[in-house]
Amino acid sequence: MESGAEVDIWNYVFGYTKMAVVKCAIELGVADVIENHGSPMTLSDLAAVLRCEPSRLHRIMRFLVHYQVFKQEPTGQHSMGFSLTPLSRLLMKHGENTMAPFILLESSPIILGPWHSLRARVLESGNISPFEAANGMDLYSYTEANPCHSKLFNDAMACAARVAIPALIKGCPEVFDGVESLVDVGGGNGTALSLIVKQFPRIRGINFDLPQVVAAMKNALGS
Ligand SMILES: C[S@@+](CC[C@H](N)C(=O)[O-])C[C@H]1O[C@@H](n2cnc3c(N)ncnc32)[C@H](O)[C@@H]1O
């Protein structure tokens, strides 16, 4: 075995830990708490606000510092604190360009389930999707029956749109030249379309999606 392979294999053995630890940090709200604090936070301050067991939180933070999700900076002559990096800003629950909802979706048991039976899907022929085989119904029937998962899904799509659409508008504004009305088919909660219409107010936007997605969007808008 080549020496590189002996190192690489551990990425396969423990590859899931990155997703698990980042998910834990999002759910605890680590990045949000540090942002609200406004300066690097010591472990004991962070643990106190998050109501965590300090030595366990320390292990989580050490992992995340190793992968440059957070960094450590002096908070005094003899103390160090945790502060944000560009990566942890993407994990803030309500950050402008947060990707936290997408991580929460992809790390949910419902989405991870199909991956556990990938071998069976590769062996068989037929049209059943891995999602349907694992969860008993197709993705959009599942979201219709499970409003919490539907919200998780729509929030994830919306956060990706908040990153992609401004880049599209900035990089290729000419694609909207002469466009007067625009239908976003499968437009989710309308995030992509609303960003486009905000930038080009002359465009009449129509967001088209499944009834439960449109209903949830109307509820969120209070109309
Ligand atoms: C992968 S998501 C994309 C969401 C959005 N376009 C975006 O990029 O953020 C696909 C969307 O298609 C919608 N969809 C699926 N089947 C549909 C159908 N038969 N009619 C209308 N919308 C549908 C889903 O509810 C979901 O919002």
Encode pLDDT of 203-220 as tens digits: 999 999 999 999 988 877
- Does the Cβ of 105 fall within 6 Å of ligand 1? no
Confidence of residue 63 (pLDDT cuts 50, 70, 90): very high
Report the SS3 class of residue 47.
helix
Q: How many residues does the chain have?
A: 223
Pair 90, 170 in one domain: no
Q: Which atom of ligand 1 is nearest to the CA of 161?
A: 9
Output the residue whose Cα is nearest ligand 1's atom 18. 210
Kindly report the number of other CB atoms within 10 A of residue 164's CB atom: 12
Q: Please give the average per-residue pLDDT across 126-151, as a whole number.
A: 95
Calculate mean pLDDT across residues 189-207. 96
- Asked if 148 and 175 count as a contact pair (C-beta separation under 8 A), the reply is no
Residue with tokens 């899907």: 121
Q: Which atom of ligand 1 is nearest to the CA of 143?
A: 25
Please state the domain count of the chain.
Answer: 2
Q: Are residues 126 and 213 in the same domain?
A: yes
pLDDT class of 127 with cuts at 50, 70, 90: confident
Tell me, yes or no, whether 124 and 26 share the same domain.
Answer: no
Rounded Cα–Cα distance for residues 115 and 121 (Å): 9
pLDDT (0 to 100) of residue 95: 82
What is the rounded CA–CA span in Å between residue 87 and residue 99?
A: 10
Give kind and range of the element (H or E) at residue 167.
Answer: helix 147-171
Q: CB of 187 closer than 6 A to ligand 1?
A: yes
What's the confidence (pLDDT) of residue 222?
66
CATH number of the domain that residue 206 is part of: 3.40.50.150
Contact yes or no for 190/207 (Cβ under 8 A): yes
**pLDDT tens across 66-107, in order?**
999 999 999 989 999 999 999 999 999 988 899 999 999 999
Q: Please give the helix or strand (H or E) that residue 31 lies within, else none.
A: helix 30-37
CATH number of the structural domain spanning residue 53: 1.10.10.10
Mean pLDDT within 146-169: 96
Ligand 1 centroid – CA 189 distance (Å): 9
Residue 223 scores a pLDDT above 60: no
Q: Is the CB of 165 under 6 A from ligand 1?
A: no
79 and 120 inside one domain: no
For atom 11 of ligand 1, which residue has the closest CA? 186
Do 130 and 80 have their domain in common? no
Whether residues 38 and 115 share a domain: the answer is no
Would the CB of 29 count as within 6 Å of ligand 1? Answer: no
Among 96, 119, 150, the domain boundary falls at 96
Residues with Cβ within 8 Å of 167's Cβ and at least 6 positions away in sequence, in order, are: none
Q: Which of 135-144, 154-163, 166-175, 212-221 has the lowest mean pLDDT?
A: 212-221
Ligand 1 pocket check for 164: Cβ under 6 Å:
no
Backbone angles phi, psi at 7, to 5 degrees: -80, -45
As a whole number of Å, the end-to-end CA separation of the chain is 63
What local confidence, expressed as pLDDT, does residue 28 receive? 98
In short, whether 140's Cβ falls inside 6 Å of ligand 1 is yes
- Could you tell me which residue, 126 or 24, shows the higher pLDDT? 24
> What tokens were used for 92?
């803030």
Give the burial class of 57: count Cβ atoms within 10 A of its Cβ; 0-12 exposed, 13-18 middle, 19 or more buried: buried
Q: Please tell me whether residues 91 and 107 are part of one structural domain.
A: no
For ligand 1, the distance from its centroid to the CA atom of residue 186, given in whole angstroms, is: 3
Residue identifier of the C-alpha nearest atom 4 of ligand 1: 188
pLDDT of amino acid 33: 98
CA atoms within 13 A on the CB side of 197: 14
Name the percent of the chain in helix, strand, coil, to the closest 5: 65, 10, 25
| Range(s) of the domain holding residue 116 | 103-221
What pLDDT does 85 receive? 98
